[in-house]
Structure 1
Amino acid sequence: MTPLELFLVVLVGVFGLVIGSFLNVVVYRVPAGIPLSRESRCPQCDSAIKPWHNVPVAGWLALRGRCAACGESIPARYPLVEAFTGIAFAVIAWAFLATTAAASVRESWALGLVIVAFLYFVAISIALTLIDLETHRLPDVIVLPSYVVGLVLFAGAAWLSGEWDALLRGGVGMIALYVFYFVLRLVRPGGMGGGDVKLAGVVGLYLGWVGWGALAVGAFAAFLVGGVVGIALIATRRAGRKTAIPFGPFMLIGAWTGVFAGEALGHAYTSLYSGT
């Protein structure tokens, strides 16, 4: 990796810290129906939060995890989400810059659009996971626009790079995974929510763009991880057979498993049976 690419990775990571701070706002306000444009205030005393107290991670540390006005404890989740988002953004930038060579200016712009698409997917993955765990909902206001964002960014990347096969694969993955989850919901209405079905199309789009192996592994991994966690919760008596467990986080864990390991696992599987 060149010094310029390393600088870009660090820059993207810092940008991720800022996005992480915004995601904390999204996770709190979207389920509650509070406008995102509203000024940041302490939920306990309603005091306005000063801009320098909103600096990702550093603001929480400076305040020692308490509101400057009333002393109410500020959950450690806030700096953790900010730090995790920053690290995740840096990892995405590093992964794509280190493994994808751009031979021309058009290909460089195409790579940039793909990186932006996956950074967006990181952001909604974090927000939707936290919201689903807390409310058992996957809000349409986050999921539905993701179709447009993903399709526009990938279409732009395909136009610049000529990788129309990747865009077609993404479209097939989007439709296939949506239909698969839709059928599952019809077969077992209580086992799959409408939000899961809508999210499935988004997941299929991103996995399909990466490759067929990513699509297959990502789709399967969601049920594997969900099954393992479900069995563990039942075994430890933290849930029963009829306990509603949000499936969105497992879908997203499966998706990222497919993105990073799907192609390698898919190739290993086919090689095992083809003898190559």
Structure 2
Amino acid sequence: MDLELWSVRPLWLTVLAALWGAAAGLLVPRAAYRIAVEPDEAWRTRCPDGHVLTGAAGGWLGLARCPDCAQYLRDLRTPWSAPGDAGRVPGDAGRVTGGAGRVPGDAPTAYRYGPGTPFVALATAGACAGLALATGTRPELAVWLLLAPLGVLLAVVDFRVQRLPDVLTLPLAGLALVLLGVMALVPEHAGKWPTALFGSLVLGGAYFLLFLVNPNGMGFGDVKLALGIGAVLGWYGWGTVVLGTFAGFLFGGLYGLGLVLTRRAGRKTSIPFGPFLIAGAYVGLLIGAYAA
């Protein structure tokens, strides 16, 4: 009976991890919308129609939808029937100024903004479920589940504006090392914190050398991202570091080759490399966790 219960636990753990990923993924599009700006631009504080973004944590937490725009659209669909409104045109309820530069009565461009929330939530849920399946009940799973939404956020931002902000890459590296240091003190973990530390330094140093050799081919944001990736992969050993790094370059190369073959880009066209580094690290982490 005990053996049977033990074999069922990973399934429940996977379901819980997927639910966590879906919930966290729902919050990624708003943060991505706010952060995905050009280097010389301030983070967005308003929806595309000009309304101030409000919510928890100073407007950072919440769904990527604007309540003001949503209410405006609902008002447009609701006929007026209140006393004193005789003669008013049905559906005219929402004629208020809806944002900077908008003419009163104009419908908002959209009440949802940023990357597609269902897709991002599903991707984050799938990533967390895969980590749970590979890691099982070992304590480092908590670290992977906390870092996975941050990795998805980084990938989305890099795809949209081809930059990896320091506000995301440096905390990723710091959190990975600190949290893994805590997990190293918990029984039944399957990694080594010193290798995670050296993996961070070595991979970050290697990417820095690539940046010095070819600054146009390797952004400095990729170098900072490599610090966190090296820590995560290094937890399971140098073989995992090599595997995850190779997979990242492979994915990026295949993507670039596909763009060239379909004539959507030339050989010198820059592509966002961060998402492929993250995808490669994810594959390496799955294999490293499963084999540990």
**Normalising to structure 1: TM-score of the pair?**
0.75
Please give the alpha-carbon distance, in whole angstroms, between the structure 1 residues aligned to 2:236 and 2:269.
34
Please give the alpha-carbon distance, in whole angstroms, between the structure 1 residues aligned to 2:181 and 2:128.
22
* Residues 1:86 and 2:108 aligned together: no
The worse-fitting range, judged by mean Cα deviation, of 72-81 and 190-199 is 72-81
* Residues 1:37 and 2:63 aligned together: no
Q: What is the correspondence of 1:69-108 to structure 2 with a 5 Å cutoff?
A: 72=110, 74=112, 77-97=116-136
Q: Against the structure 1 CA distance between its residues 161 and 20, is the aligned structure 2 distance closer, same or farther, given a 3 Å change threshold? A: same
Please give the alpha-carbon distance, in whole angstroms, between the structure 2 residues aligned to 1:30 and 1:252.
18
* Residues 1:119 and 2:145 aligned together: yes
The offset of 1:148, in angstroms, is 2.1
C-alpha deviations, 1:219-262, integer Å up to 9, x for none? 11222221222122112111012211111011111111211235
Aligned to 1:137: 163
Of 199, 203, 218, which residue of structure 2 is paired with 1:177?
Answer: 203
Please give the alpha-carbon distance, in whole angstroms, between the structure 2 residues aligned to 1:153 and 1:21.
24
* Residues 1:225 and 2:251 aligned together: yes
Of 18, 26, 49, which residue of structure 2 is paired with 1:21?
Answer: 26
Counterpart secondary structure, 1:137: coil
Q: Against the structure 1 CA distance between its residues 77 and 136, is the aligned structure 2 distance closer, same or farther, given a 3 Å change threshold? A: same
Please give the alpha-carbon distance, in whole angstroms, between the structure 1 residues aligned to 2:266 and 2:64.
39
Please give the alpha-carbon distance, in whole angstroms, between the structure 2 residues aligned to 1:2 and 1:162.
17
What code does the residue aligned with 2:27 have? F
The offset of 1:47, in angstroms, is 4.5
Please give the alpha-carbon distance, in whole angstroms, between the structure 1 residues aligned to 2:225 and 2:157.
13
Aligned to 1:104: none
The worse-fitting range, judged by mean Cα deviation, of 140-149 and 85-94 is 85-94
Q: Gapped runs of 5+ residues in structure 1?
A: 50-68, 101-110, 266-276
**Normalising to structure 2: TM-score of the pair?**
0.71
Counterpart secondary structure, 2:155: helix
Aligned to 2:234: 208
C-alpha deviations, 1:179-198, integer Å up to 9, x for none? 00001111111111110000
Are the aligned partners of 2:244 and 2:284 in contact in 1 as well (CA < 8 Å)? yes
Q: Against the structure 1 CA distance between its residues 233 and 77, is the aligned structure 2 distance closer, same or farther, given a 3 Å change threshold? A: same
C-alpha deviations, 1:145-176, integer Å up to 9, x for none? 11221112111111123869710111111000
Count of matched residue pairs: 234
What code does the residue aligned with 2:195 have? R
Work out which of the two has the higher radius of gyration on C-alpha atoms and give 1 or 2. 2
Are the aligned partners of 2:134 and 2:287 in contact in 1 as well (CA < 8 Å)? no
The worse-fitting range, judged by mean Cα deviation, of 35-44 and 23-32 is 35-44
- Determine what percentage of the aligned residue pairs are the same residue: 35
Please give the alpha-carbon distance, in whole angstroms, between the structure 1 residues aligned to 2:278 and 2:135.
19
Q: Against the structure 1 CA distance between its residues 81 and 264, is the aligned structure 2 distance closer, same or farther, given a 3 Å change threshold? A: closer
The worse-fitting range, judged by mean Cα deviation, of 82-91 and 255-264 is 255-264
Please give the alpha-carbon distance, in whole angstroms, between the structure 2 residues aligned to 1:158 and 1:225.
31
Of 209, 231, 236, which residue of structure 1 is paired with 2:262?
Answer: 236
Are the aligned partners of 1:174 and 1:208 in contact in 2 as well (CA < 8 Å)? yes
Q: Greater relative contact order (Cα 8 A, min sep 6): structure 1 or 2?
A: 2
Aligned to 1:108: none
C-alpha deviations, 1:95-114, integer Å up to 9, x for none? 222xx6xxxxxxxxxx33x1
Are the aligned partners of 1:174 and 1:204 in contact in 2 as well (CA < 8 Å)? yes
Counterpart secondary structure, 2:172: helix
Of 117, 128, 132, which residue of structure 1 is paired with 2:154?
Answer: 128
Please give the alpha-carbon distance, in whole angstroms, between the structure 1 residues aligned to 2:220 and 2:204.
11
Are the aligned partners of 1:213 and 1:263 in contact in 2 as well (CA < 8 Å)? no
Are the aligned partners of 2:195 and 2:237 in contact in 1 as well (CA < 8 Å)? yes
The worse-fitting range, judged by mean Cα deviation, of 223-232 and 166-175 is 223-232
Please give the alpha-carbon distance, in whole angstroms, between the structure 2 residues aligned to 1:20 and 1:48.
24
